[in-house]
Amino acid sequence: MKHNTLIICACGALLLTACGHGGGHSGEADGHAAEGKEHSGEIVIDTAEARASGIVVETVQPGEFSGVIPCGGKILAAQGDEATVTATVAGIVRLVRGVAEGSPVGRGAAVFTISSRNLQDDPARQAAIAYQKAKNEYDRAAKLVGDRIVTQKEFNQIRADYEAAKAVYDAFSQGGAAGGGVAVKSPIGGYVKTCLVKEGDYVAVGQPMMTVTQTRKLYLRANVPERYYAQMGAISSANFKTAHGDRVYSLARMDGRLVAAGKQTGDGSPYLPVTFEFANRADVAPGSFVETYLLTAPRQGVVTVPVSALTDEQGLNFVYIQTDPTCYERREVTIGQTDGERVEIKSGLKAGEKVVTEGAVQVRLAGASTAIPGHTHNH
């Protein structure tokens, strides 16, 4: 009697034992029939290889899962006290280490240094020349004023010029930048909202370099299609992800709160605005367009798995089930709503089954690369 079976290994570990059979072949006809059914579509992966491949499983348990309204959105900066940091001298920008968009800064803390070294009109060099000239003039006048060769009025003016030149020179000297640079400091304490220049840029006097805000709050503005109007009152929170990554941000973990939910657009738009405020703990950039999952009333007894458990094959959705410590099988499932982190499974899974939540792609590749077509057991 012959059975077509699929025997698969991961990372070169080919196991010829049957899942759940300990490798033995019974001589009984009923045993052959059962064995053939159990072998069909099996993926056999040694436990050590599974660990090395990062395969993680989760036991399926129905639980609470919120309703979801999928829509687009945008991250906006919250209003607050802001200040613009401008260049005090012309020169080449150097960033202070650790300063970036979203990072905290103290009042009076240096956020840039500007070096004018090797520039034709080096203000630091000019300040040094002016200071030395003023100091020489002051020292000479101090000796002559007692002999009334220099009048007191003239001496007072020379001293004022010297003190002004010294103040400018000291400003450059205390800036701490090698080669006659000067530190540019934040006028307020807060967080860096936007950085308008980068390392190596040339800036002119008065050019805006950075915006500092005293709030680290951001807004998520979601645009909800009108067909979800009846669910607007049930919206409680949201998840989102940006266009440049797969990370899902949860407002519930970022002190998010609903601040406004529009009942009408007022401008003829087919979308209803919903706005949340949240603490930017994850370096989310204002102005980013995001994929948004608005969370509504919770539902009970819903089977869900992490989004990472799904694989898409020719438009169909599959998960991989661990049938025993070394065996896996592919299972087609029907999916429902997703909140970006987990996805509802409407059919194909039942409570108590173990589904691969991390490493599903590795299991799939193992199955595709090491299957032995037409392999048979002859008994």
In a domain, 73, yes or no: yes
Percent of the chain with pLDDT over 70: 79
User: Which of residues 21 and 135 earns the better pLDDT score?
Assistant: 135
Shared domain check, 205 and 160: yes
Q: What is the pLDDT of residue 172?
A: 64
pLDDT in tens, 72-102: 999 987 776 788 999 988 888 888 887 888 7
The highest-confidence range among 127-131, 167-171, 183-187, 300-304, by mean pLDDT, is: 300-304
Residue 370: predicted pLDDT: 53
Q: What's the whole-number mean pLDDT along residues 109-131?
A: 76
Q: Is 308 domain-assigned?
A: yes
Mean pLDDT on 245-249: 90
Residue 72 shares a structural domain with residue 93: no
Q: How many CB atoms lie within 10 A of CB 176?
A: 12
On whether both 238 and 207 belong to a single domain, the answer is: no
Instruction: Please give the mean pLDDT across all residues of the chain.
Output: 81
Q: Is residue 42 within 8 Å of 287, Cβ to Cβ? A: no
CA dihedral 232, 235, 241, 242 (to 10 degrees): 40
CATH of the domain at 220: 2.40.30.170
pLDDT in tens, 312-323: 988 999 999 999
Residues 261 and 140 in one domain: no
Q: Do 86 and 206 reside in the same domain of the chain?
A: yes
Rounded Cα distance, 44 and 184, in Å: 63
How many alpha carbons fall within 13 Å on the CB side of residue 25?
A: 12
Query: Total structural domains in the chain?
Result: 3
Query: 184, 213, 242 — which closes off a domain?
Result: 213
CA 16/CA 22 separation, integer angstroms: 10
Q: Residue 70 has what pLDDT?
A: 97
In our burial notation (b when 16+ CB lie closer than 10 A, e otherwise), range 72-87 reads ebbbebbeeeebebbb
Domain CATH code at residue 107: 2.40.50.100
Indicate whether 87 and 74 sit together in one domain: no
Between CA 38 and CA 61, with CA 19 as vertex, the angle to 5 degrees is 85
Q: Domain boundary at 213, 235, 254, which?
A: 213
pLDDT of the residue at 23: 43
**Judgement on whether residues 152 and 236 belong to the same structural domain of the protein:** no
Q: What is the mean pLDDT of residues 259-283?
A: 81
pLDDT band at 258 (very low <50, low <70, confident <90, very high): very high
Q: How far apart are the first and last CA of the chain?
A: 6
pLDDT band at 272 (very low <50, low <70, confident <90, very high): very high
Residue 144 located in a structural domain: yes
Range of the domain at 108: 82-213
Residue 128, classified by CB atoms within 10 Å of its CB into exposed (0-12), middle (13-18) or buried (19+), is: middle
In this prediction, residue 186 has a pLDDT band, given cuts at 50, 70 and 90, of very high
291 and 308 housed in the same domain? no
Confirm whether 52 is domain-assigned.
yes
In 53-158, where do the E strands start and end?
56-59, 63-77, 82-86, 91-95, 104-105, 110-115
C-alpha to C-alpha distance for 332 and 313, rounded to whole angstroms:
10
- Residue 185, beta-bridge partner list: 110
354 inside domain: yes
- Whether 92 is covered by a domain: the verdict is yes
pLDDT of residue 89: 80
227 and 196 both lie in a single domain: no
Tokens of 234: 């049930």
Sequential DSSP letters for 38-55: HHTTEEE--HHHHHHTT-
In a domain, 181, yes or no: yes
| Single-letter amino acid code for the residue at 313 | E
Residue 344 included in any domain = no
Residues 243 and 356 in one domain: no
Task: State whether 141 and 195 are in the same domain.
Answer: yes
pTM given for the model: 0.62
Mean pLDDT across 325-332: 93
Kindly indicate the confidence band of residue 5, based on its pLDDT and cuts at 50, 70 and 90. Answer: very low
> Which domain-ending residue is among 180, 213, 246?
213
pLDDT of residue 217 exceeding 90: no
Together in a domain, 149 and 136: yes
